[in-house]
A and B are shown apart, each in its own frame.
Chain A
Amino acid sequence: MRFAIIQFGGSNCDYDVEYILTSIIGIDADLVWYKERLNGYDGVVIPGGFSYGDYLRAGAIAARTEIMQDVRKMAAAGKPILGICNGFQILTESELLPGALMLNNYPKFICSGTYLRVENEQTPFTNRFKKGDVIQIPIAHIEGNYYTDNHTLQKLKERRMIALRYTDQMGEVREDTNPNGSVENIAGILNQNGNVLGLMPHPERASEKILGSVDGLKIFKSMIDYVEKKAIANQRNRSK
């Protein structure tokens, strides 16, 4: 199994993700510069950072690079695409995910731990969780305020596209557990097919005991389980 971690000018969580995938989990992962192409990968991680200095809008310029056409194709082929923080912003700017990420309600860079509730456990990224699990993963952003109009919000709910919400330790969604003003405390959303996830929290920063939480590791491992199960199912179909 081989994952690609895309590097844009200004990505800065790329090596952290690589370290978790290769050294902690033990799969193959390549750092892929945005001018290269994505060939033969089982999945993609778009890491956090400040691609192109957040010029114009966070993620806007990276979203329009050619490599994102490859990401689009992989997404259409059902491969898992995970966008973390700036990666989430790039996915909304690419329209691979609905909505937009705006300046935090209180316009300050927030770097802190958050509790999240798993809203949909039947996805390639959350299959190691149970519905309603409360997990701990930190955030670090100034433009993480998820916005979408009511019509799209309704669709997100009906199709279970909300993956994670900011809550308290008990999993309660409240206004004071919303760090950035996101509509309905949304921390992460899926595309309609469920194989593209964007989230503001950084799972790679919650993937080792020494960091205080290993809940983020479960997201990566869920994704790997998904790829493995899919490969086995494909093999069975072929031998039928």
Chain B
Amino acid sequence: MKYIIDITVQLKAGMRDPEASTLQRSLEQIGFGTHELTLAKKFHVTIDAESETEAEEQGRQMCERLLANPVIHNHIITVVKK
């Protein structure tokens, strides 16, 4: 069965993100006042798996072993059937 794993990797709450604050300032310059802006990386991975649980477990391992750095990141995984 094919599953799509949707992985969002973002900095842990409260960590300073210069890219996000630069974008926030930039938005302000073109007329958008904002309270907060955060950035995240999104991965869409299509895999074969026996079940949704197995697909989610693979996604978790992908995060632990490569896609996220536990020192600075949190990750969110959602799985959908393709």
Contact = CB atoms under 8 A, between A and B. Distances in A.
A149 B72 CA distance: 9
Given A56-B66, A60-B66, A64-B66, A107 B71 contact: no
Interface in A170-194: 181
- Interface size classification for chain A: 10 to 19
B35 interface: no
Contact of A100 (B16, B17, B22, B71): B71
Given A99-B71, A100-B71, A148-B71, A181 B66 contact: no
Interface residue SS majority, chain A: loop
A56 B66 CA distance: 9
B31 interface: no
B16 A181 contact: yes
A40 to B, nearest CB: 30
Interface of A: 56-57, 60, 64, 92-93, 98-100, 102-107, 147-149, 181
20 contacts: A60-B66, A60-B69, A64-B66, A92-B71, A93-B69, A99-B71, A100-B69, A100-B71, A100-B72, A104-B18, A105-B16, A105-B18, A107-B18, A107-B19, A107-B22, A147-B71, A147-B72, A148-B71, A181-B16, A181-B18
